[in-house]
Chains A and B, each alone.
Chain A
């Protein structure tokens, strides 16, 4: 990135803005005042008019329920200009009146519904509505009560007339001078007054019927209006969005001078541009204005000074298209700073492998992939597409690991039926008979080191796989694999940490804070390996002890002093944390195993009666067994998708990013002055 200043007199401000916008290259830095010679710029005169049009258009969009869509067709600028007044005034007015009428109808319906629900309890009262109010010498109380009121009302007002219907509805007529006393009595009985419509006469039940038919006719008036709005939306949606885009671009251009520093007759635009694009930028602006502006690149010293003064250099995030979805994960944490390494590529490499290692099931992987492909048609916003692409790539890995683990719907699932043609016998066999053929890691200091597969079934005898994950040997192997990934992952993080600190010129931080962590973690793991393989006498053990000691001394000599060494438990826990790759996988395998066991060894034999024990299941038993299978596997898949996503995410954010990323608070993204055209042809 290079810092660029464009200066010129105000009579070329419009061509400069036009040209900058078209080039879409300059990341403008807002002028924030502070220099007496320059004032903040004012927007162009037409900005006011444009924003008014834009507000009008946005309200039309809101009435029609337009929220942005994939363009079906593109418009040229002249098409948009010719349609704009039609859309804003003619169609717009139509939309507004239609929408307002619908809102009015909806309001009316609501009022009438409220009246109906208020009058419903009173419908059995034998008095017409018009006789319930409007007296001079009589006070009336119409509403509902909890218990009969006649005797108590007579107590305070001997002359009265009480009508009641059903258990709760009452209409009480008393002389006006007794009103307050009667009101007190009624309150004791839980009296709730009903507000009656003034403009309806006749019996209450008749009034309810009238209101109901009113609601119906209002509904039938609303229906064609709604259809008309839907029709207008279908017909003009693209055009409206195109006008929106056109006006947004115009507004953006008209308001651009507010970001500039300006004097009475001149303006200065300050910004960043990718260094290799500077020549293009300069040439284009100068040709657009006939050379009447000054375009200048600040030399590196000046740019560095700005950075040291606390100004952020924008970062242009640029990754190959397969890696691009993973920028979502990076951005969720922080935008990389200008001199920082963008970790998206590392996430692209490690995240799917970790996901696959945890989920590791052919069927789950396939189902996930199919569902994601279906969702991709529905959710087409950039954020969702990225997320879905991430999961699709990850599900490929879970199929690969599923083949390695021999899991289709978990152990004892379809794998063994497909590849061995026999009932599964191997799971417990593997645990009990560790001497079976396969890749054996031999005997270590503390006991056997474990092996990879096989289970002794069918044609896979002696092969590398499948390694059933629940078998002891596999668990030990996977602990090793997890720790290997841990050292690799955190090691890369530490190396990048050294690199980043050097890029910022912090040599002391690089060599005495980042480097010892790398040494500590790598040799901690090597020492552990030596201990397992050959015990304390293995040469790897004293060697790593020595290196660890050196690394601790380096930490103490580092910028944090003795406090630096207090982070050691954190570095150890970093490594152990990767055991989750094994652990969460085991949990979901356990549930899948339980599902299969439940269906094939419990539900089906039990429901089949005496023959069931020999594998002759009745149809009924098979149906119920399959229902159980589907239910448990479905729940397991739902839970099993969340954890393989969240936990690798955590491993990146906590274990890896803390080594190198976002130490200085995150950067800002390169956002050049321009507009993405979707509905307008360029």
Chain B
């Protein structure tokens, strides 16, 4: 019955949009938390040894892929997945 309300009542696409938003947003928070520690450490290293800027950047950008995963899920939800219908 609940499923009926969701599907027929037009809530379906709203819920998909909320889900897509949560997927990207929470992944973003996760990536941010990950980058926080690395970023602080990299700034410390670069202050002492500027030559490590490239390698530090490399390490700092690693967790950024997380948010792309979230985004991929969002894109699938928004564009490629048609449930129940």
A residues with CB within 8 A of B:
331-334, 446-447, 472, 475-476, 479, 573, 576-577, 579-580, 583, 646, 649-650, 653-654, 657
Expressed in whole angstroms, the minimum distance between the Cβ of A469 and any Cβ of chain B is 13
Q: Would A333 and B68 count as touching, CB distance under 8 A?
A: no
Q: Would A475 and B75 count as touching, CB distance under 8 A?
A: yes
Say yes or no for B71: interface residue by CB 8 A criterion: yes
Query: Assuming the A-B contacts A476-B80, A576-B72, A583-B71, are A334 and B54 also in contact, with contact meaning beta carbons closer than 8 angstroms in the complex?
Result: yes
Q: Which of B54, B64, B79 contacts A332 (CB 8 A)?
A: B54
Across the A-B interface, the 4 shortest Cβ-Cβ residue pairs: A333-B54, A332-B54, A650-B61, A653-B58
**Minimum CB distance partner of B65 in chain A:** A577
Say yes or no for B62: interface residue by CB 8 A criterion: yes
Q: Which of A333, A475, A577, A650 contacts B55 (CB 8 A)?
A: A333
Q: Which of A479, A650, A657 contacts B64 (CB 8 A)?
A: A650
User: Which residues of B lie under 8 Å from residue A580 when comparing CB positions?
Assistant: 64, 68
Q: Which of B57, B58, B61, B65 contacts A576 (CB 8 A)?
A: B65
Query: How far, in angstroms, from A576 to B68 measured CA to CA in the complex?
Result: 7
Expressed in whole angstroms, the minimum distance between the Cβ of B79 and any Cβ of chain A is 5
Query: How far, in angstroms, from A583 to B65 measured CA to CA in the complex?
Result: 12
Say yes or no for B45: interface residue by CB 8 A criterion: no
Q: Which of A331, A446, A654 contacts B62 (CB 8 A)?
A: A654
Query: How far, in angstroms, from A238 to B17 measured CA to CA in the complex?
Result: 66
A-B CB contact pairs (8 Å), 8 listed: A476-B79, A476-B80, A576-B68, A579-B75, A646-B61, A649-B61, A650-B57, A650-B64
Query: How far, in angstroms, from A472 to B68 measured CA to CA in the complex?
Result: 18
User: Which residues of A lie under 8 Å from residue B75 when comparing CB positions?
Assistant: 475, 479, 579
What count of chain B residues pass the 8 Å CB interface test? 17
Over the window 41-67 of chain B, the binary record of Cβ atoms lying under 8 Å from chain A Cβ atoms (1 yes, 0 no) is 000000000000111011001101100
Query: How far, in angstroms, from A376 to B80 measured CA to CA in the complex?
Result: 46
Expressed in whole angstroms, the minimum distance between the Cβ of A354 and any Cβ of chain B is 14
Q: Would B65 and A472 count as touching, CB distance under 8 A?
A: no
Q: Would B57 and A573 count as touching, CB distance under 8 A?
A: no
Say yes or no for B69: interface residue by CB 8 A criterion: yes
Expressed in whole angstroms, the minimum distance between the Cβ of B70 and any Cβ of chain A is 10
Expressed in whole angstroms, the minimum distance between the Cβ of A591 and any Cβ of chain B is 16
What would 13 more interface pairs be, CB under 8 Å, given A334-B54, A475-B75, A654-B61? A332-B57, A333-B55, A447-B80, A475-B79, A479-B75, A573-B69, A577-B65, A577-B68, A579-B68, A580-B64, A580-B68, A650-B64, A657-B58
User: Which residues of B lie under 8 Å from residue A653 when comparing CB positions?
Assistant: 54, 57-58, 61
**Minimum CB distance partner of A583 in chain B:** B71
Q: Which of A333, A447, A579 contacts B72 (CB 8 A)?
A: A579
User: Which residues of A lie under 8 Å from residue B82 when comparing CB positions?
Assistant: 447
Query: Assuming the A-B contacts A447-B80, A476-B79, A479-B75, are A649 and B69 also in contact, with contact meaning beta carbons closer than 8 angstroms in the complex?
Result: no
Chain B binding surface, main DSSP class: helix
Query: How far, in angstroms, from A130 to B23 measured CA to CA in the complex?
Result: 78
B residues with CB within 8 A of A:
53-55, 57-58, 61-62, 64-65, 68-69, 71-72, 75, 79-80, 82
Name the residue in B55, B57, B65, B72 with the highest tally of chain A Cβ atoms < 10 Å from its Cβ.
B65
User: Which residues of A lie under 8 Å from residue B68 when comparing CB positions?
Assistant: 576-577, 579-580, 583
Query: How far, in angstroms, from A657 to B57 measured CA to CA in the complex?
Result: 13
User: Which residues of B lie under 8 Å from residue A479 when comparing CB positions?
Assistant: 75
Chain A binding surface, main DSSP class: helix
Q: Would B69 and A654 count as touching, CB distance under 8 A?
A: no
Name the residue in B53, B68, B82 with the highest tally of chain A Cβ atoms < 10 Å from its Cβ.
B68
Query: Assuming the A-B contacts A573-B65, A577-B65, A583-B68, are A649 and B79 also in contact, with contact meaning beta carbons closer than 8 angstroms in the complex?
Result: no
User: Which residues of A lie under 8 Å from residue B65 when comparing CB positions?
Assistant: 573, 576-577, 654
**Minimum CB distance partner of A653 in chain B:** B58
User: Which residues of B lie under 8 Å from residue A573 when comparing CB positions?
Assistant: 65, 69
**Minimum CB distance partner of A479 in chain B:** B75
Query: How far, in angstroms, from A577 to B62 measured CA to CA in the complex?
Result: 10
Query: How far, in angstroms, from A123 to B8 measured CA to CA in the complex?
Result: 84
Query: How far, in angstroms, from A530 to B15 measured CA to CA in the complex?
Result: 30
Query: How far, in angstroms, from A583 to B71 measured CA to CA in the complex?
Result: 8
Expressed in whole angstroms, the minimum distance between the Cβ of B45 and any Cβ of chain A is 14
**Minimum CB distance partner of B71 in chain A:** A583
Q: Would B79 and A654 count as touching, CB distance under 8 A?
A: no
Query: How far, in angstroms, from A577 to B69 measured CA to CA in the complex?
Result: 8
User: Which residues of B lie under 8 Å from residue A476 when comparing CB positions?
Assistant: 79-80
Query: How far, in angstroms, from A278 to B29 measured CA to CA in the complex?
Result: 58
Expressed in whole angstroms, the minimum distance between the Cβ of B75 and any Cβ of chain A is 7
**Minimum CB distance partner of B61 in chain A:** A650
Q: Would B79 and A472 count as touching, CB distance under 8 A?
A: yes
**Minimum CB distance partner of B74 in chain A:** A583
Name the residue in B62, B80, B82 with the highest tally of chain A Cβ atoms < 10 Å from its Cβ.
B80
Query: Assuming the A-B contacts A332-B54, A475-B79, A476-B79, are A579 and B61 also in contact, with contact meaning beta carbons closer than 8 angstroms in the complex?
Result: no
Expressed in whole angstroms, the minimum distance between the Cβ of B64 and any Cβ of chain A is 7
Q: Would A333 and B58 count as touching, CB distance under 8 A?
A: yes
Query: How far, in angstroms, from A550 to B64 measured CA to CA in the complex?
Result: 30
Expressed in whole angstroms, the minimum distance between the Cβ of A114 and any Cβ of chain B is 34
Expressed in whole angstroms, the minimum distance between the Cβ of A328 and any Cβ of chain B is 10
User: Which residues of A lie under 8 Å from residue B61 when comparing CB positions?
Assistant: 646, 649-650, 653-654
User: Which residues of B lie under 8 Å from residue A657 when comparing CB positions?
Assistant: 58
Query: Assuming the A-B contacts A475-B75, A579-B68, A579-B71, are A332 and B62 also in contact, with contact meaning beta carbons closer than 8 angstroms in the complex?
Result: no
Expressed in whole angstroms, the minimum distance between the Cβ of B68 and any Cβ of chain A is 5
**Minimum CB distance partner of A578 in chain B:** B68
Query: How far, in angstroms, from A190 to B53 measured CA to CA in the complex?
Result: 51
Query: How far, in angstroms, from A482 to B73 measured CA to CA in the complex?
Result: 16
User: Which residues of A lie under 8 Å from residue B72 when comparing CB positions?
Assistant: 576, 579
Q: Would A446 and B80 count as touching, CB distance under 8 A?
A: yes
Q: Would A576 and B69 count as touching, CB distance under 8 A?
A: yes
Expressed in whole angstroms, the minimum distance between the Cβ of A387 and any Cβ of chain B is 13
Name the residue in B54, B55, B71, B80 with the highest tally of chain A Cβ atoms < 10 Å from its Cβ.
B54
**Minimum CB distance partner of B24 in chain A:** A583
Expressed in whole angstroms, the minimum distance between the Cβ of B39 and any Cβ of chain A is 13
**Minimum CB distance partner of A646 in chain B:** B61
Q: Would B55 and A334 count as touching, CB distance under 8 A?
A: yes
**Minimum CB distance partner of B55 in chain A:** A333
User: Which residues of A lie under 8 Å from residue B62 when comparing CB positions?
Assistant: 654
Q: Would B71 and A332 count as touching, CB distance under 8 A?
A: no
User: Which residues of B lie under 8 Å from residue A650 when comparing CB positions?
Assistant: 57-58, 61, 64
User: Which residues of B lie under 8 Å from residue A334 when comparing CB positions?
Assistant: 54-55
Query: How far, in angstroms, from A300 to B50 measured CA to CA in the complex?
Result: 36
Query: How far, in angstroms, from A472 to B79 measured CA to CA in the complex?
Result: 7
Query: How far, in angstroms, from A475 to B74 measured CA to CA in the complex?
Result: 12
Query: How far, in angstroms, from A558 to B38 measured CA to CA in the complex?
Result: 31
User: Which residues of B lie under 8 Å from residue A332 when comparing CB positions?
Assistant: 53-54, 57
Name the residue in A334, A446, A475, A577 with the highest tally of chain B Cβ atoms < 10 Å from its Cβ.
A577
Q: Would A654 and B71 count as touching, CB distance under 8 A?
A: no
Query: How far, in angstroms, from A654 to B66 measured CA to CA in the complex?
Result: 14
Query: How far, in angstroms, from A475 to B80 measured CA to CA in the complex?
Result: 10
Expressed in whole angstroms, the minimum distance between the Cβ of B61 and any Cβ of chain A is 4
